[in-house]
């Protein structure tokens, strides 16, 4: 049976967004929601016909809000707004982000506060189902009156202008007019307020956050898997993961991290082999404090997820329509999303930094509890995984630089009318980069952890760690000598991009 996502303006979930962005689900508009939107639209049109002065409908925009627009120019005003805001630059956003932004925008336009025709949401659904993806440059938005430029590029394609990708091909573009025609889709003609409503919103930065949270949560579990495997390879102790320790400081993320580690390490022969005569009192922080550090990462992801879940079904354009009242406000401001993106960036950098420290212990003969230097088969002749730690260190250093928040970096725009802006897309760009970095750092640790376990045989690790080891070994074989590491790191990163270990 074909999976469907029904848009109502109030019930979209993060899982729905991921399914539309990366799957083949059919997007539909709920008829009841569409009828309510069209009823609101009729009231708004009566106000326009009565000659009321309403921002963005028969006035200019931003600093030009005091300029009245003649009735015969209202339709041209909306088109001019779209065309003038097609100002993005840089590489195109990936298709999954564009699809996520489109379904988010369609959903929000089904809220009666937008005052548009339900046709806009229905047309976006048609374009999504036809797998037509506007070319949306990733740079050029400050996230203040929403993601103006990125959303304008999407709207431009609905006009039958600009270029699009069709299907999953992001190598060759086609004119939007051709793609719409081939799919039997009529270009949109934006009516009063509709161009403004379309681009006034946070849906592109929210799309990045939604997909990022899905991927970051998967990586969080994989990072715990890597930590447990490293602990076994380093013959560490699971005692610091006892539930009573974490119940005494009951941060939810910390408790969950400790629980997962206990499950991964249960039944370890390696642990039993050194329980009685180990002279060490306690392990280093990078092993012992994993629940506290990665727990705080999970708590940060949970905070960001609560923010995103609200934004999925929130009214973020301006002005908003409440019955017969049309009210100007600032719900388009992207500060909540930009701040959440910055927090996720910091959290993922923390995750990567902790992973790199465990990796260092695995390859450093002074710290590795008898493992060969750099996990090389013949240290000296072979360099082993020396460069895996160097690569991880480089990625962590870059991520720390990128962890400087974007959401506090305001530069006023629009003649100082938009005098405090959140730089949400800059935050999104950094967060995506740091996620990719963190994924590769954890990949390096997983490769090293699996190699370290080779030297603990015939002792078996915990059952959960054994599953992680087998998953890594399905992609990367044990080392017999030196080999190119880049393909191995990227291969494991590819696994982590699509699944959570174990």
Residue 471 covered by a domain: yes
What is the CATH number for 152?
Answer: 1.10.275.10
Whole-Å CA distances, 264 to 260, 318, 369, 433, 478: 6, 50, 21, 29, 22
Question: Could you say which of 201, 235, 254 is where a domain stops?
Answer: 201
Distance (Å, whole) CA 290 – CA 284: 10
Radius of gyration of the chain (CA): 26
Query: Do 463 and 343 fall within a single domain?
Result: yes
Residue 229 covered by a domain: yes
Q: What pLDDT sits at residue 71?
A: 75
Query: Do 302 and 222 fall within a single domain?
Result: yes
Question: Tens of pLDDT along 123-164?
Answer: 999 999 999 999 999 999 998 888 999 999 999 999 999 999
Question: Could you say which of 167, 201, 235 is where a domain stops?
Answer: 201
Q: What is the pTM of this model?
A: 0.95
Query: Do 121 and 179 fall within a single domain?
Result: yes
Rounded to an integer, the average pLDDT of 15-37 is 97
Contact at 8 Å (CB) between 389 and 356? Answer: yes
Q: What pLDDT sits at residue 133?
A: 98
The Cβ of residue 366 has, within 10 Å, a number of other Cβ atoms equal to 6
Query: Do 105 and 146 fall within a single domain?
Result: yes
Query: Do 349 and 217 fall within a single domain?
Result: yes
Residue 297 covered by a domain: yes
Domain that holds residue 245: 208-317+330-498
Mean pLDDT for the chain overall: 94
Distance (Å, whole) CA 38 – CA 112: 8
Query: Do 445 and 399 fall within a single domain?
Result: yes
Q: What pLDDT sits at residue 374?
A: 98
Cβ-in-10-Å burial (0-12, 13-18, 19+) of 15 comes to: exposed
Whole-Å CA distances, 338 to 142, 250, 311: 10, 28, 12
Query: Do 34 and 53 fall within a single domain?
Result: yes
Residue 226 covered by a domain: yes
Query: Do 66 and 213 fall within a single domain?
Result: no
Query: Do 391 and 473 fall within a single domain?
Result: yes
Contact at 8 Å (CB) between 42 and 112? Answer: no
> What is the number of helices (H) and of strands (E) in the chain?
19, 9
Distance (Å, whole) CA 155 – CA 459: 61
Give the CA diameter of the chain: 89
Rounded to an integer, the average pLDDT of 409-416 is 87
Query: Do 385 and 448 fall within a single domain?
Result: yes
Bridge-partner residues for 27, per DSSP? Answer: 5
Question: Could you say which of 201, 219, 245 is where a domain stops?
Answer: 201
Provide the number of structural domains found in the chain. 2
- Residue 65 clears pLDDT 70, i.e. is over it: no
E strand spans, 233-376: 320-322, 325-327
Residue 241 covered by a domain: yes
Active-site residue numbers? Answer: 55
């Amino acid at each position: 049976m074909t999976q469907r996502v029904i848009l109502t303006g109030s019930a979209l979930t993060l899982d729905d967004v991921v399914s539309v962005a990366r799957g083949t689900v059919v997007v539909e508009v709920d008829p009841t929601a569409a009828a309510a939107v069209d009823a609101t639209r009729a009231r708004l049109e009566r106000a326009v016909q009565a000659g009321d002065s309403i921002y963005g409908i028969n006035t200019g925009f931003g600093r030009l809000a005091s300029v009245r627009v003649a009735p015969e120019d209202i339709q041209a005003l909306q088109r001019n707004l779209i065309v003038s805001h097609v100002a993005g630059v840089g590489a195109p956003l990936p298709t999954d982000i564009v699809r996520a932004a489109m379904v988010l925008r369609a959903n929000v336009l089904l809220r009666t506060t937008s005052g548009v025709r339900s046709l806009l949401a229905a047309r976006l659904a048609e374009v999504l189902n036809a797998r037509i993806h506007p070319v949306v440059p990733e740079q050029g938005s400050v996230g203040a009156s929403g993601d103006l430029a990125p959303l304008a590029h999407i709207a431009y394609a609905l006009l039958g202008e600009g270029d699009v990708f069709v299907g999953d091909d992001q190598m060759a573009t086609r004119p939007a007019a051709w793609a719409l025609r081939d799919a039997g889709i009529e270009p949109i003609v934006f009516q009063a307020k509709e161009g403004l409503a379309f681009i006034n919103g946070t849906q592109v930065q929210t799309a990045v956050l939604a997909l990022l949270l899905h991927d970051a949560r998967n990586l969080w579990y994989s990072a715990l898997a890597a930590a447990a495997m490293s602990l076994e390879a380093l013959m560490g102790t699971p005692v610091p993961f006892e539930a009573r320790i974490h119940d005494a400081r009951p941060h939810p993320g910390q408790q969950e991290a400790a629980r997962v580690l206990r499950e991964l390490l249960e039944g370890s022969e390696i642990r039993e082999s050194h329980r009685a005569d180990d002279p060490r009192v306690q392990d280093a922080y990078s092993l012992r404090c994993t629940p506290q550090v990665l727990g705080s990462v999970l708590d940060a992801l949970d905070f960001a997820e609560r923010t995103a879940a609200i934004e999925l079904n929130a009214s973020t354009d301006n002005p908003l329509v409440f019955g017969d009242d049309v009210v100007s406000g600032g719900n388009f401001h992207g500060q909540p999303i930009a701040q959440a993106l910055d927090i996720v960036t910091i959290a993922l950098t923390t995750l990567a930094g902790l992973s790199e420290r465990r990796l260092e212990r695995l390859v450093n003969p002074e710290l590795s509890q008898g493992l060969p230097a750099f996990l090389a088969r013949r240290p000296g002749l072979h360099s082993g995984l020396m460069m895996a730690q160097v690569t991880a260190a480089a990625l962590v250093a870059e991520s720390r630089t990128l962890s400087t928040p974007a959401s506090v970096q305001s530069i006023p725009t629009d003649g100082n009318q938009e005098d405090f802006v959140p730089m949400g897309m800059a935050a999104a760009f950094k967060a995506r980069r740091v996620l990719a970095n963190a994924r590769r750092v954890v990949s390096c640790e997983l490769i090293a952890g699996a190699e370290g376990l080779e030297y603990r045989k015939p002792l078996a690790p915990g059952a959960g760690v054994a599953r992680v080891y087998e998953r890594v070994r399905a992609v990367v074989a044990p080392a017999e000598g030196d080999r190119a590491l880049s393909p191995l790191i990227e291969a494991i990163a590819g696994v982590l991009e699509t699944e959570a270990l174990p």
